[in-house]
Amino acid sequence: METPYACYLQLPDLLNLQRPRTPDDRPAQWADEHFFITVHQSAEVLVSQALVDLDRAGQQARAGQDAGAATSLRRVTAVVDVLESHLALLDHLAPESFTAFRPLLDDASGAQSSQFSELFRRIAMRDCLGSASGEEHTRGREVADALWALRAAVTRWRTRHLLLVERMIGDRPGTGGTSGLAYLRSRIDLPPDG
């Protein structure tokens, strides 16, 4: 019988979604690919929360609620910080183990994550909270600081991801069709001042 906990969190659905393509008569590779899928799926769940909070920050900023907007932005930053340390989980996947199931990914790549792209795109925008008039306008110090901290957190995520990719695939091209490391290096910008 399903508990209220499992029902509230829809655990049967959630825990039925980790499905390695490795056949289960190869248990070591199956466990490695399960780990890889779990790391990516849990990251996507966290990114969906970051997007919710970024929307909320925009609503608050447009309503002139700067303190609330800064609070929401700091929660987005906390999530991005966790996403950065979350990447460290993959330090527990040996590059040769990844290479063994990598062909099963076909051309799937994190670069196709619509949620990560949306998060990165919005955070890079000069006025990422939007303004009623559509014009850039000066935010209060607290919001400006919170935005700066968020951009810095994204840069840390990208740097950590780059190091992970270097360890995992070295100079080989990405499954998304890019050059891999060189492409990812070109995506790292330092956050703008102020």
User: Which C-beta is closer to ligand HEM: that of 37 or that of 144?
Assistant: 37
CB of 31 to ligand HEM, least distance (A): 15
Angle at 50 between CA 34 and CA 90, to 5 degrees: 30
List contacts with ligand HEM (CB under 6 A): 39-40, 43, 87, 90, 98, 109-111, 113, 116, 120, 158, 161, 164-165, 168-169, 174-178, 180, 183-184, 187
Between 111 and 144, CB nearer to ligand HEM = 111
Q: Give the DSSP letter of residue 188.
A: -
**How far is residue 135's CA from residue 56's CA, in Å, rounded to a whole number?**
19
End-to-end alpha-carbon separation of the chain, Å? 54
Nearer residue to ligand HEM within complex by CB, 54 or 165: 165
Quote the CA–CA distance of 97 and 187 in Å, as a whole number: 27
CB of 65 to ligand HEM, least distance (A): 30
Residue type (1 letter), 107? D
CB of 112 to ligand HEM, least distance (A): 8
Cβ neighbours of residue 177 under 8 Å, at least 6 residues apart? 107, 109
Nearer to ligand HEM, 10 or 179 (CB): 179
* Smallest distance, ligand HEM to C-beta of residue 9, A: 21
**What dihedral do alpha carbons 150, 158, 46, 19 form, nearest 10°?**
180
6 C-beta neighbours (distance < 10 Å), count: 13
Specify the residue, 26 or 185, whose C-beta has the smaller distance to ligand HEM: 185
The set of residues, in sequence order, having a beta carbon less than 8 Å from that of 95 and lying 6+ positions away, is: 167, 168, 169
Q: How many helices (H) and strands (E) does the chain have?
A: 8, 0
Please identify, using beta-carbon distances, which residue of 69 and 83 lies nearer to ligand HEM.
Answer: 83
Residue 162 beta carbon to ligand HEM: minimum distance, rounded to whole angstroms: 9
| Residue 118 Cβ vs ligand HEM, minimum distance, rounded to whole Å | 10
Of all residues in this chain, which one has the CB nearest to ligand HEM in the complex? 174
